[in-house]
Amino acid sequence: MALRGKADKLGVLFVCMGNICRSPTAEGVFRHRIEQARLQNRVLIDSAGTHAYHIGQPPDRRSIATAAQRNYQLNGIKARKVVPEDFARFEFVLAMDRDNLGALQQLQPPDHPGHVGLLLDFAPDQSLREVPDPYYGGPRGFELVLDLIEAAADGLLLRVQERLEQG
């Protein structure tokens, strides 16, 4: 039995620490991919953080600017913290790194039938397995985050399409 989020949509949740750099970028990129595939009425996409540092704040201005350069919009995204109910709403709960994955696994109910893992599991050709946090670095870090997320978004889109076909 597949998990379904709001309005019976398949749910995808992206998670990093503060929900202002990596996970909102992943949300924006994947939302774009889903819209291009004309699946926006069938997929619920969101992002959250494992920590409550930035609740209610928009994404980091550097994330917004870097995403906009590649025609991704992060408008309307506000930081929030992961809550236990997310595991009932989202079939795919994807962490940007192993530390956040560990935090998610601590929250994950034992009966959650969905996929909880690393986003870069969907980019097997990438040498990195974690999306590095660009917060304390320069512009190149934000570019790398987008490169990695774009690579994973393509693989994730294929998996989501397969799940939708399975019903």
Catalytic-labelled residue, pool 22, 31, 33, 80: 22
Q: Tell me whether residue 16 is one of the annotated catalytic residues.
A: yes
Catalytic-labelled residue, pool 16, 33, 97, 163: 16
Q: Tell me whether residue 21 is one of the annotated catalytic residues.
A: no
Q: Tell me whether residue 22 is one of the annotated catalytic residues.
A: yes
Cβ contacts of 19 within 8 Å, gap of 6 or more: 47, 48, 49, 54, 79, 80, 81
- Rounded Cα distance between 113 and 5, Å, is 13
66, 143 contact by CB (below 8 A): yes
149, 133 contact by CB (below 8 A): no
Catalytic-labelled residue, pool 46, 60, 86, 133: 133
Q: Which residues form the catalytic set?
A: 16, 22, 133
